[in-house]
């Protein structure tokens, strides 16, 4: 279960409904991956690069490359 207990798909009419909203094939939705929210329609996408987190991961990678392998 993915937490979509209100999702209903009608393969005959090629429509789906979630709660009070109904969508037909080809209609846009937008998903906020941080909040887990879904919005009707096509919304602008904001791309952010998590530089601090990537730097931390790079530090771990570099540390792992120079550490001796335990055996």
Span 19-39, pLDDT tens digits: 888 999 999 998 888 788 888
1 in any annotated domain = no
47 in any annotated domain = yes
32 in any annotated domain = yes
pLDDT over 70 for what percent of the chain? 90
Average pLDDT for 40-62: 88
User: 25: domain range?
Assistant: 7-65
39 in any annotated domain = yes
Number of domains into which the chain is organized = 1
CA–CA gap between residue 41 and residue 30 (Å, rounded): 6
| pLDDT band per the 50, 70, 90 thresholds, residue 4 | confident
Amino acid 49: pLDDT: 83
18 in any annotated domain = yes
Distances (CA, A) of 16 to 8, 32, 33, 56, 70: 5, 20, 21, 42, 54
Bridge partners of 38?
A: 31
| pLDDT band per the 50, 70, 90 thresholds, residue 1 | very low
70 in any annotated domain = no
């Amino acid at each position: 279960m993915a937490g979509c207990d209100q999702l209903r798909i009608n393969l005959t009419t090629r429509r789906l409904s979630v709660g009070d909203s109904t969508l037909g094939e080809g209609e846009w939705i937008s998903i906020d991956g941080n909040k887990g929210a879904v919005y009707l329609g096509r919304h602008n996408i904001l791309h952010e690069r998590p530089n601090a987190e990537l730097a931390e991961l790079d530090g771990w990678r570099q540390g792992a490359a120079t550490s001796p392998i335990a055996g």
